[in-house]
Structure 1
């Protein structure tokens, strides 16, 4: 009679993607802190009653309701907007299924791009505290992917593409002033260009074309509906994020 073999232990559980939703209070905190005009100190409490906004006590101000616990005024991004955006980003990454290295770099960039989108829509600014870590982390994670087997060529191309796209945005600011893109857009483009350049020289151009097309269509609708004038300044950051994701989806 054969003896029983060793009993296999339970298989380790893979982390659930929706566990990332636990980070949404942090993202809401970042949005609330940075949704202030340029040159203004970052927000630390409710504008209406002064109740502190803190990660130590995230509810209810940093929850999906986004309401101050003191007076009930809205705080930061619209209710449930951050949560819906994070779920959409998770679904996009899961459905596309890029390799682990590229997945990590994209997830890092999106962790900053999501709050940057809300901040840019609200106050038309892209703070250095978010754009620069987004670019640096993306570049480093792509470097790790290169060392892990992808090779140096895509990483060098990503580096050049990020710098090239950033230079394009910065040049429009220097040459056209207020009619060009902002320096914040150039800093956001560092990470976006690196992600896109990893896949080829034409992919950053595709992402830029998608971003320009989206912004142009929205601007046209706003003009036709008289919700904006020719002199209006529209934030470009959200379209750069969407254009980057659209181009990535086409190459994954």
Structure 2
């Protein structure tokens, strides 16, 4: 799926443009965020799908800058704040209510917003 598409795309782009340092930067960024996400998953707050998504996000944003990954993560949390507030209010009103917050959609939305902003600016 996307996890096997991005490395091939970046490798092809690095081959045709000669920008091997950007490929290395993307790989290092992806490996770093994957390691951090794996440690967080061992604590128990991330699922395996989120870890794979972090890997893809690291590959996508790492090509442009490792700092873009940080911006995407911060933006994902900012986007998730209203949903988290609703879940907290629901849990306060109904103690047994499901308060699971799906974080993947916010990660994808934030990554797309930050990447498009970085490309256009």
Which category of TM-score, normalised to the shorter sequence, fits these structures?
0.7 to 0.9
Q: Which structure is higher in RCO with an 8 Å CA cutoff and minimum separation 6?
A: 2
Q: Partner of 1:182 in structure 2? A: 47
Larger Rg: 1
Q: Do structure 1's residue 134 and structure 2's residue 2 form an aligned pair?
A: yes
Q: Partner of 2:61 in structure 1? A: 196
Query: How do residues 151-170 of structure 1 correspond to structure 2 at under 5 angstroms?
Result: 151-170=19-38
Q: Do structure 1's residue 223 and structure 2's residue 84 form an aligned pair?
A: no
Structure 1's consecutive aligned runs of 4 or more residues displaced over 6 angstroms after TM superposition are 227-231
CA–CA separation in structure 1 for the residues paired with 2:117 and 2:71: 10
Q: Secondary structure at the match of 1:232?
A: coil
One of 175, 182, 205 as aligned partner of 2:70: 205
What is the root-mean-square deviation of aligned Cα atoms in Å?
A: 2.0
Structure 1 residue runs of 5 or longer lacking an equivalent are 1-132
Q: Do structure 1's residue 172 and structure 2's residue 37 form an aligned pair?
A: no
Any conservation in 2 of the 1:166–1:189 contact (CA below 8 Å)? yes
Q: Partner of 2:112 in structure 1? A: 245
TM-superposed CA distance for 1:202, in Å, is 0.4
Matched residues, number? 116
**Higher relative helix content:** 2
Any conservation in 2 of the 1:139–1:191 contact (CA below 8 Å)? no
Query: How do residues 94-173 of structure 1 correspond to structure 2 at under 5 angstroms?
Result: 133-173=1-41
Instruction: Output one character per residue of 1:90-113: Cα deviation in whole Å (capped at 9) or x when no partner.
Output: xxxxxxxxxxxxxxxxxxxxxxxx
- State the TM-score, normalizing by the size of structure 2: 0.85
Q: Secondary structure at the match of 1:167?
A: helix
Structure 1 residues 172 and 231, CA, compared in 2 at 3 Å: closer, same or farther? farther
